[in-house]
Amino acid sequence: MKDEANQAKTKLLIQCLKEIQDDFFKTFGVTDIISNSKIFEIVIANDLGHILIPGHSGSRDAKNEKGEEYEYKHYKESSSNHTWTFNDFTDTTIEKLKKVKAVIFAHIDDSGTFPKFDWYYDIPGPVISGYLAEKTKLIKNARKMINVGPSQIEENLGIKKTHNEFDCKKGEYFKWLEEINTIAREIEDITGTKGVLTSNKFWEVLVALILGHKVLSEQAGHDAVDKENKYYEYKVSKTPSWNFQDISNAVLKKYKDDNRMVLAIVDKDKFLIKEINEAGPIATIRRLKQKLKEKKARYKLKKKILRRLQVSLSRGDLKKIKAKLIYKLPKEDA
């Protein structure tokens, strides 16, 4: 009975988050604010008095009243990596940073009940663009990734950190932030899963509610576990295309310890799980290896460098890995 009560309460809290996101969208034109650490961008904009920019991957994060745009980078105190990461950079993306007013390198203290944006570096776009252009010349890693830390900024650019003294309660977005944070904490207490507003954790929790799993808080090699202590790998996507990043031999070996691979489709606006498929790890690994081999061959033919060991499984691949549809959203709930 306790599990049923907790599940019912969690569903009610999730509905509350949906209503908050809907209201935020109506007020500011920005949606999908619950997952992928978007909440921390709102925390930063709230304190700096910036206006969030509605957009997609590749667009800037915020602008000031003059329309000058900002890029945000943040890391949390609880993170194991206390640097700011630029993933998959290109000469073009670095060049484009010249056009922004500044890049805000923010630190989030998430040790308390409410995430505090306590200090940051404000680096003009042309300055950070020039710095990255110079430093990335020597980058040899295939993924094209560079980390920037506080000591690098202070020693190489001569820019000191700014301590944020703004009272967050006076910010334009605080009312929504406070509600979201309070509800997220309740969900974490009920489910035992921490950090539900980071990465895809929130959507994984929604999938786990249907499957009777528990989403694991830490990146311990598995996404979820069932009552029999069997592990699962979760992939969630808005479309029937599930991305597998950096599928090295070590990662593929880890997948062998999973009981099943779970491939779900979510509606991030309606907070719904549209369907869930599951497949065995061995068949999935075999298909991933095959697709990676094919990708390498295409790149070699075109004389291109394969920067990441990354492939996606599509709906067409489900049959090849003998996946089974184990959940379909009822039409009356869509």
Backbone angles phi, psi at 330, to 5 degrees: -60, 145
Question: What is the reported pLDDT for 299?
Answer: 87
**For residue 144, pLDDT beyond 80:** no
Question: What is the reported pLDDT for 217?
Answer: 82
pTM of the model: 0.89
CATH of domain 200-333: 3.40.210.10
Q: What is the pLDDT of residues 199-214, one digit of tens each?
A: 889 999 999 999 999 9
Q: What is the pLDDT of residues 38-90, one digit of tens each?
A: 999 999 999 999 999 987 556 799 999 999 999 999 999 988 889 998 876 77
pLDDT grade for 252, boundaries at 50, 70 and 90: very high
Q: What CATH number does domain 29-174 carry, 3.40.1280.10, 3.40.50.150, 3.40.210.10, 2.40.110.10?
A: 3.40.210.10
Q: What is the pLDDT of residues 161-206, one digit of tens each?
A: 999 999 999 999 999 999 999 999 999 999 999 889 888 899 999 9
281 near 289, Cβ under 8 Å?
no
Question: What is the reported pLDDT for 56?
Answer: 59
CATH 3.40.210.10 domain range(s) in the chain = 29-174, 200-333
